[in-house]
Amino acid sequence: MLHKNSAKPAVFLAGGIGITPFRSMIKDATERQPPHRIVLFYSNRNPRGTAFMSDLEAWQRANTNFRLIATITDSSTTEPWAHARGLITPAFVKPYLQAAAGAIYYLAGPPAFVKAMTAALAELGADPDDVRSEEFAGY
């Protein structure tokens, strides 16, 4: 569930299957329309492995408080892709965080992804007390 203080934006960082808990949170926020601003960074290897994209794109259109930033990391893919390409790094995230000052950060995905995102947020100066994470190993 989203944190209660709607003055604090929610920033979700999802790697692969880590999108699962965020999908239901974003769906709920789109249906209920709470005032929380939500930014989702969603990374996958290729378009084919990017679950729930049509839902996420539709919710971004329906919810003015929700922003989707999706990226793929396989530079060799020739599949059509209308979003970003490359890893989620501090430089990738930083331009979007100015609008999400004081955010609560939610991380979910494979252990290596969660570790990298934790380090990225530390580099960007995020307060560790504002970071919540869950690792999905062995899938």
Query: Going from the N-terminus, what domains does the chain have, and what CATH number goes with each?
Result: 10-135 (3.40.50.80)
- List Cα–Cα distances, 47 to 32, 39, 72, in angstroms: 29, 20, 7
pLDDT at residue 136, rounded to an integer? 85
pLDDT digits (tens, 9 = 90+) for 72-102: 999 899 999 999 999 999 999 999 887 777 9
69 has a pLDDT exceeding 70: yes
| Cα 39 from Cα 55, distance rounded (Å) | 15
Apex 45 CA angle, 135 and 38, nearest 5: 60
Determine the average pLDDT of the residues in 7-25.
Answer: 96
Cβ-Cβ contacts under 8 Å for 122 (sequence gap 6 or more): 128
What CA–CA distance (Å, rounded) separates 38 from 36?
6
Strand partners, 114: none
**Model's pTM, two decimal places?**
0.95
Whole-number pLDDT of residue 138 = 66
Q: Does residue 56 contact residue 45 with C-beta atoms inside 8 Å?
A: no
How sure is the predictor about 139, in pLDDT bands with cuts at 50, 70 and 90?
A: low
Cα–Cα distance, 45 to 33 (Å, whole number): 31
For residues 2 and 19, what is the distance between their CA atoms, to the nearest angstrom?
Answer: 15
Q: Please, how many CA atoms are within 13 Å of residue 135, restricted to the half-sphere of its CB?
A: 11
